[in-house]
Structure 1
Amino acid sequence: MTIEAMVEQRRESVAQVHRVGYANRAMIRKKRCKRTKKCASTVPMALQDLFVSCRQIFKGPDTVPLPEDIKRLCNILDNMKPEDVGLSSELQFFKTKAAVKGTPRVTYTTIYQCNDFSMCIFFLPANAVIPLHNHPGMTVFSKLLLGKMHIKAYDWVDPPRADGPDTPIQLRLAKLEADSVLTAPCNTSVLYPTTGGNIHQFTAITPCAVLDVLGPPYSKEGDRDCSYYKDFPYTGFSNGEMELKKEEGSCYAWLEETEVPENSKMDGIEYLGPQVDESRC
């Protein structure tokens, strides 16, 4: 078997693990529904609370949730467990210690999406990367449900341009907002349209599951399409407007927008975990 065939086989097996895991839980849900008068009672309260709160809080493009609403969503997400979305650490995907050969492929599934917000889960095998990318005009909540991952995040420096005489115009100066390792269970990370690390990258140290709430969601037809970046050390280029000491320079970097990276491609699978009840709002 060729290396390419082995990699493709592994990708399919990862997707199949999620399908089987969700399918088993969907079957259990159906059996429970037959024994109860109201199928809605099988929806985990945390997931339903998250859905209802998102409907009340997100008001569409060009709006940012109020501080009290940010706190409300964080409180819900901080207390959410893998079981609330039909996951378990006992699934083979999360018990696999060996890294996937070749380029590990990220898988995602959408719990719910509308024009104002989306709720989705990303599955990252060990060593998988979601490359450095932005969230234009969006507020994003990320909750690591399972696993251990490294996160790096930047915000543009104000003014967001870097066109000094010795600096290539395609490079823009950004400030490092996060460069740390998260291990589940942990608190929710929040980024805003211009602050909080709007441009970020995930690297899985172990197999991971990340629950993301995006408000509003990406829109390729509008002005919220995703852009990707490559970062360079601050000391690699000079800047006519801003000179930093060596120790300060480590907190900054130059970002260059790039073409869509090969490792940004993801496999979408059907969500078969607990369903939100749209009638209970």
Structure 2
Amino acid sequence: MGVDGGLADPTLRAELATEKNTYSSKKKKRRQKKPTSTPSAVQRLFETCKEVFAHGGRGFIPSADDVERLRSVLDTLKLTDVGVSPNLPFFHHVVTDGPPPVTYLHLYACSNFSIGIFCLPQAAVIPLHNHPGMTVVSKLLFGSMHIKSYDWVNDPEGSNEKIKSSNGACLAKVNTDAIFKAPCETSVLYPTTGGNMHCFTAVTSCAVLDVLGPPYNDDEGRACSYYKEYVFSSFPGKAIGVSGESKEYAWLEERESKPDDLVVRGAEYRGPKIVGR
């Protein structure tokens, strides 16, 4: 029996039609059941920042639970998650007369928070600077970095004013003075505690991801200030009542402008994109 003759049989035609419809239905269901893609690590970081800093503003401090949630996301973040490699050219300083330049990769910024990566070749320095009214969460992605940080010391008489020297420098207490090597814990600093003024020095080439909440904004009183550092003994007798050894303290004098030896260049971020920004 030929094919055409067979298809002429009404019973056979009905059976074939049923099989065809069943096959088409299964195929359609397979198309509809596409697995949901897992968000990238960068996307998870972005979504967490949106929630943690949803009510952000100058001096806003996220709850301890929210800080820990953001910290846990960054603790699992790897260099490959942000599409950065130690082989990139801006981690290898070509010897020149000037200082090694720092490269900044911009991931995201809004009025409540910003995300970016600082890339430092060996010996590059981000000088001592502050983060006024800001909470900053930092993750060392690779390499070794020396971090020195300070918090202001207030007048022990309870005036809530900084202790000043004869030349206007203010007294600060060391919070951190150590070398960190990746992988290490994510660090957090707050508007008045945790080492709000800090300096980064690249022991080896390294990269650090910063989340700032809220970000710098001159119009809202969050301009970045840089400082000169003087040893405690530079102005004797000006800090009566402070506790601890003198090496735990220093006098910080605000610079009039950004240090001339700081060179920061922007470069395009080529890692996973942030969706819904």
Superposition TM-score, scaled by structure 2 size: 0.79
Helix, strand or coil for the counterpart of 1:73?
Answer: helix
Q: Check conservation: 2:171, 2:251, Cα contact below 8 A.
A: yes
Distance (Å, rounded) in 1 between the aligned partners of 2:242 and 2:145? 30
Helix, strand or coil for the counterpart of 2:218?
Answer: coil
Are 1:64 and 2:61 matched, yes or no?
yes
Distance (Å, rounded) in 1 between the aligned partners of 2:39 and 2:89? 24
Are 1:54 and 2:52 matched, yes or no?
no
2:100 equivalent in structure 1: 104
Distance (Å, rounded) in 2 between the aligned partners of 1:92 and 1:228? 28
Q: Check conservation: 1:43, 1:275, Cα contact below 8 A.
A: no
Q: Check conservation: 1:174, 1:254, Cα contact below 8 A.
A: yes
Q: Check conservation: 2:128, 2:228, Cα contact below 8 A.
A: yes
Distance (Å, rounded) in 2 between the aligned partners of 1:207 and 1:198? 24
- Which of 168, 184, 187 matches 1:186? 184
Are 1:118 and 2:119 matched, yes or no?
no
Distance (Å, rounded) in 2 between the aligned partners of 1:277 and 1:250? 48
Residues 194-238 of structure 1 deviation map (CA, whole Å, 9 limit, x = unaligned): 000000000001111110000000012220010000111111212
Instruction: Give the Å deviation of 1:119.
Output: 0.4
**Equivalent residues in 2 for 1:170-249 (5 A)?**
170-242=168-240, 248-249=245-246
Instruction: Give the Å deviation of 1:161.
Output: 2.3
Helix, strand or coil for the counterpart of 1:87?
Answer: coil
Helix, strand or coil for the counterpart of 1:206?
Answer: coil
Instruction: Give the Å deviation of 1:273.
Output: 1.2
Helix, strand or coil for the counterpart of 1:250?
Answer: helix
**Equivalent residues in 2 for 1:17-56 (5 A)?**
41=37, 44=40, 46-56=41-51
Unaligned runs of 5+ in 1: 1-37
Instruction: Give the Å deviation of 1:100.
Output: 3.9
Are 1:145 and 2:141 matched, yes or no?
yes
User: Identical aligned pairs, as a percentage?
Assistant: 51
Q: Larger deviation: 83-92 or 226-235?
A: 83-92
- Which of 130, 136, 150 matches 1:134? 130
Distance (Å, rounded) in 1 between the aligned partners of 2:185 and 2:253? 30
CA gap of 1:50–1:171, structure 2 versus 1, over 3 A, is same
Instruction: Give the Å deviation of 1:60.
Output: 2.0
- Which of 153, 156, 159 matches 1:157? 153
Q: Check conservation: 2:90, 2:119, Cα contact below 8 A.
A: no
Distance (Å, rounded) in 2 between the aligned partners of 1:200 and 1:117? 19
Residues 47-86 of structure 1 deviation map (CA, whole Å, 9 limit, x = unaligned): 2211111000112213110000111011110110001110
Superposition TM-score, scaled by structure 1 size: 0.77
**Equivalent residues in 2 for 1:84-95 (5 A)?**
84-91=81-88, 94=91
Q: Check conservation: 1:109, 1:270, Cα contact below 8 A.
A: yes
Distance (Å, rounded) in 2 between the aligned partners of 1:48 and 1:171? 42
Distance (Å, rounded) in 2 between the aligned partners of 1:240 and 1:253? 12
Unaligned runs of 5+ in 2: 1-33, 156-160
Q: Check conservation: 1:43, 1:276, Cα contact below 8 A.
A: no
